[in-house]
Structure 1
């Protein structure tokens, strides 16, 4: 969405060079993200599991990016979300089945003692209110309660999404498990593709004899140098560079002498 908004701003900036560049960038953008019904569903679900966004922000974004098919996309997302929740709920139900059996006998005994202490004329009303409360809780699932709550008002860059789910896992145990699994998935393959591209530049047709250990050392060293915040002072390395140049010069002289002989 942010990229889409940037494109709109650049196309209306009035600079012909920027407009031309934006058109080419938008072609590449549409190649991967131009069709909303073909985007990985987990990208949408990750937005829903951000308590600052949820379904309302996702609906706004889908209508902004894909206004012609927004309704179909939102229906598809809602269906897949509930199917995934039901799958997690069924797995959690199997785990909690034994725990529920162990506590049911205790609850039954306590309810019988309470009923016996009251007049029989009020037992039917007690059962009715208890049943009504139970049905009300069951009719509103954990997912519905989460989506029904207001969004978190916290746009700080220090907001820890995983910490929020950890703190709210007692209220949403099933959703917390879903959030932990979904938010752990890398959002793109750029990092791995970049690593392969870097390796291809190091080990090319002119450097085909490098060992795997040397290739790893070169790639890691380049990565460390690029991410280093320390300023490199070239004056500290003048002597070392001069020594290297002298060695290369002597080596070249030796090779030329051997070729002449």
Structure 2
């Protein structure tokens, strides 16, 4: 089991230049970290190839930003801000450099000093979207990507945990109710003692037994 775990680890995290680039970008889009924290972490875990990794990250970050910037320009044109070829040239020559500097301004600012566990990353980007409209779109898309497939795989496995060879005739409504109850029980902060509900369950069972079978 340990060997299999190690093999899985090496597949995704063993080499810094093979890690999904979005993992690095998510760190940059945290205003408390940005490039300085990422550079520290990369040098700590991959000291031999840290410089190459940071160059790769910087290149991909600017390429992604340019892609978002060009799409934002197309949306502005589509919405009617400009339609002539002359205005299109003006947009590309005047507005585009201003949008490119948005990334440099964000990276050039000091990191946010807030180590509180209640820090809301998405709220920060929402509040700063007027200053960084393009980066806000990028952060929204990148941060929304799950860091692991465990959650999605667990969701698809829920059906197998509820339906088995002994409960294969449950109706969809009953399966949905069981899934909801399972989530509520797991989310509860207080320990659940079934003995506290015995009387209530017995009352419900007695009421059901009084209903005529033909109904």
**TM-score, L = length of structure 1:** 0.61
Q: What CA distance in whole angstroms lies between the structure 1 residues aligned with 2:105 and 2:33? A: 15
Equivalent residues in 2 for 1:125-204, closer than 5 Å = 141-204=101-164
Q: What CA distance in whole angstroms lies between the structure 2 residues aligned with 1:173 and 1:196? A: 36
Residue equivalent to 1:39: 19
Residue equivalent to 2:71: 91
Residue equivalent to 1:210: 170
Residue equivalent to 2:47: 67
Give the match's secondary structure for 1:93.
helix
Label 1:139 to 1:185 Cα distance change in 2 as closer, same or farther (>3 A).
closer
Q: Which has the higher helix share?
A: 1
**TM-score, L = length of structure 2:** 0.73
Gaps of 5+ in 1: 1-20, 102-133, 245-261
Q: Rg larger in 1 or in 2?
A: 1
1:2-57 Cα shifts (integer Å, max 9, x gaps): xxxxxxxxxxxxxxxxxxx9887555433432232232211111110111100111
1:119-147 Cα shifts (integer Å, max 9, x gaps): xxxxxxxxxxxxxxx9xx86971111111
Label 1:208 to 1:94 Cα distance change in 2 as closer, same or farther (>3 A).
closer
1:157-207 Cα shifts (integer Å, max 9, x gaps): 121212222222222221122112222222222112122333222223443
How far residue 63 of structure 1 moved from its aligned partner, in angstroms, is: 1.9
Label 1:145 to 1:211 Cα distance change in 2 as closer, same or farther (>3 A).
same
Task: Tell me if structure 1 keeps the 8 A contact 2:69–2:100.
Answer: no
**Equivalent pairs, count:** 192
When the two chains are superposed, the root-mean-square deviation of aligned CA atoms in Å is 3.4
Residue equivalent to 2:31: 51
Label 1:221 to 1:144 Cα distance change in 2 as closer, same or farther (>3 A).
same
